[in-house]
Structure 1
């Protein structure tokens, strides 16, 4: 399960809309749960990262320097990297074959913001090292405990 603050949820959708028709990408910070099925991670920070992919309309690649800087800032603030966000401006609301080939962070959440429907879809999948397993997303209200 991945809990997102309302600010992170809304911010990831806004970023996806701003970047369309190209894919957006970013880093999530907060508190990681374990790698078990029922473990819960909580994301209270979303840091936008430039997409430097050669074909940004159909794939994403986080700018390495920006990614590292944001990950360091998250850790310096006493938080943990929870996962990553990218968008599918017109594609399916699920990991693509390219997403599976490129995934490397075992046990981390990969959030996809899909804009192809009438309303945005925000889904999350945890990378197992062999494939993606969909996880439940809970969007927390501003005064919800972490």
Structure 2
């Protein structure tokens, strides 16, 4: 389960609307538990530097390192990541699964059509997979 306060969910939704037709992305900070409940305390918007931002996202590597440093300085952990699917469902695509690299972290996906937020945890194993997780407010 992942707990995301209403104000952070609203901020991410607004970013997704403003970023349309491109995918937006960012990092979620807070308290991370590998097999339990993670609690989001902050969100850090990032620049999508993908070659095809309408259908893919990629966080700028230098910006990602700076975000990780900010998280560490604030005593937070990396809870997960978020991005939008402006024209798709709030579930991971095949590309999302192929590019997932953070075991047991949450990948929050915002769909604009229909407007919905879903969360998935990346599980490693022989092939790796996303498991849907419960998303609750604070």
Q: TM-score range by the shorter chain?
A: over 0.9
* Structural mapping, 1:6-45, within 5 Å: 6-33=6-33, 35-36=34-35, 39-45=36-42
Give the corresponding residue for 1:99: 96
Residue 139, structure 1, aligned to residue 137, structure 2: yes
Q: Which runs of 5+ in 2 are unaligned?
A: none
Matched residues in 1 for 2:9 and 2:137: separation? 7
* Structural mapping, 1:1-146, within 5 Å: 1-33=1-33, 35-36=34-35, 39-117=36-114, 120-129=115-124, 130-140=128-138
> TM-score, structure 1 length as denominator?
0.90
Aligned length: 135
> TM-score, structure 2 length as denominator?
0.95
Matched residues in 2 for 1:8 and 1:81: separation? 15
Q: Which runs of 5+ in 1 are unaligned?
A: 141-146
RMSD value, Cα? 0.7
Runs of 4+ in 1 over 4 A off after TM superposition: none
Can you list the C-alpha shifts for 1:59-85, whole angstroms capped at 9, x where unaligned?
000011111111110111011110000
